[in-house]
Amino acid sequence: MNRIKHNVLLLIGGGLLIFLIACMGIVSAADIDFEIDPGQWIRGSLDPSVQITCLDKATGVSIDCPPSDSIEGIYLSSDGTSADAIKVDDGPIWASGNTINTKFAMSTAAPPFAVGLYYVGVQVTTPTLPTVLTVPVTIFTSNSAILNGQVVNLGSETPIIAFFEYSNNLGDIGSTEPTDPKPMTDTIGSFSSLISDLKPNTEYHYKACAAPTGGEPVCDDELSFTTESPISDGKFRVVATGEPHVGITPSEMRIVDPGSEEKFTIRDLPGSRCEYVDITNQTREACPSDSTLSVQITEDTIIKAEGFGFFGVVKPAFIAIEKDSLSVDFYDMSAKLRIPEVARTWDFGDGTRSTQLNPEKKYDAPGRYAVTLWVKDAYNSGTLTQYIDVGVVQPTETFTITARGEHGGRITPYGETSVEQGSSITYYIYPNSGYGIKEVFVDDIYIGNPPSYTFSDIQQSHTIRATFQWN
């Protein structure tokens, strides 16, 4: 709410509002300012039909009144001080043009008033706007990119629409704002959009925006990125990614032959469900029912799987952008969180911590650091650890994880997967209909029958094998 000072002078006698004061010239006292905190005092005239006319204090010209849904009450004061003000009406209150219509009665809605001069004011709530943050792009090719943003604050009017505006130096402009029906959000957290049909080797500018229902959009400052050049030998880049609620493998950037058919496994993470898949220059489609997605590659291609988490499920995620040899910007890209009571703690892997939304960290020495983000909303919490390389780091060794699933189910990713030293990878085990997980072996050691297993801080090659049994 804002503190804005306006007022009106009234003469009240025997419960009636004597409008003759303007004719008598008793108006000089109306220039005395006072305020209710929070509130807005409007100079004008009140007639016996309980209608306030809103006037500009300096000129006396009628002006538009505040909107009805922002007026919380009518107040009177005898001496022009907020301590003396008495609330005489809670509503209903209607504002139209330059008048406010109310239902308050001096004889019942307030204590008896003596004959004298009074001031009238309306308490006004000023709506707050949503706040968004533009986050650096981390996935892009020669013709498409995934734009990243954060809803930091919803504002007072929810739900809101979150989207991006983008352009290049050639005069091309675009927006990801959806057409009706518009998907709305009433949660804070990350959002992203896949944009296609971009020009290669071209600088693009983009910004995150949000708009309340029926309101004007507000946007953050612009960031920029430059698209890749096409690969000279005619091959194409392909990369897949999922929001925190959805897993998709393989996800690393690969170079493939034109026309090749690439297969991806999409999995619902615990407490979540995949909703749809966006593919470069293709129409959005629903997630495949059998978790397997086949894409024929005819150009540089990005595959983006999106979904949602069920009530109370928190999915932490973050990205790290190295600014120079030792400075890193961290961005909390956790899946949409419910308010109130959103809390987070960063552990930067060197003994230091932060509770900021998007902290900047200056490391003392180059190396590989295990960074952990803990996020909590009003209902649940989640933790994610990722390894980041800061400064000059020696090349890491590559190891192989071999996964096998016997008759009755499957394990993903399946077969041999190359991983870097110190990295992590999670395997998911799915029994077929009518089957259950019987045994899981890691490096030929029985570990029970868990539905998933994560290799963390990998320093050697491993194997994982699952068996199934008929229920």
CB 464 within 8 A of CB 440: yes
Cβ neighbours of 83 (radius 10 Å): 8
Residue 7 has pLDDT above 50, yes or no: no
Strand partners, 329: 321, 360
What's the mean per-residue pLDDT of the chain? 76
The pLDDT value recorded for residue 33 is 29
Q: What is the pLDDT of residues 43-64, one digit of tens each?
A: 333 333 345 566 555 566 666 7
- Give the angle subtended at the CA of 396 by the CAs of 391 and 400, to the nearest 5°: 150
pLDDT 10s digits, 60-90: 666 676 666 666 666 666 555 555 566 665 5
Q: Is the pLDDT of residue 15 over 60?
A: no
Q: How far is CA 81 from the centre of its chain?
A: 42
- Half-sphere exposure of residue 373: CA atoms within 13 angstroms, side-chain side: 24
> Cα dist. 90→2, 4, 87, 122, 138 in Å?
19, 20, 8, 10, 52
Q: Mean pLDDT lowest for which of 33-47, 91-105, 317-331, 350-364? A: 33-47
Q: Do the beta carbons of residue 1 and residue 70 sit within 8 Å?
A: no
**Run of H or E including 23:** helix 21-24
pTM over 0.75: no
Closest CA to 41 of 51, 50, 30: 30
Residue 370: per-residue pLDDT? 92
Give tens-digit pLDDT for 243-273. Answer: 777 888 888 888 888 999 999 998 887 767 8
C-alpha 255, offset from chain centre: 32
Is residue 128 within 8 A of residue 218, CB to CB? The reply is: no
Q: Which tokens go with 422?
A: 């110190």
Place of tokens 């025997």: 14
pLDDT digits (tens, 9 = 90+) for 16-31: 222 222 222 222 222 2
Q: Provide φ and ψ at 189, rounded to 5°.
A: 135, -165
Closest CA to 73 of 110, 44, 114: 110
| Distance, CA of 199 to CA of 142 (rounded, Å) | 7
Q: Does residue 101 surpass a pLDDT of 80? A: no
Burial class (CB in 10 A: 0-12, 13-18, 19+), 41: buried
pLDDT confidence of residue 182:
61
Cβ atoms within 10 Å of 123's Cβ, excluding its own: 21
Please count the CA atoms within 13 angstroms of the CA of 278 that sit on its side-chain side: 17
- What one-character-per-residue DSSP string does 208-235 give? EEEEETTS--EE---EEEEPPPPPTTS-
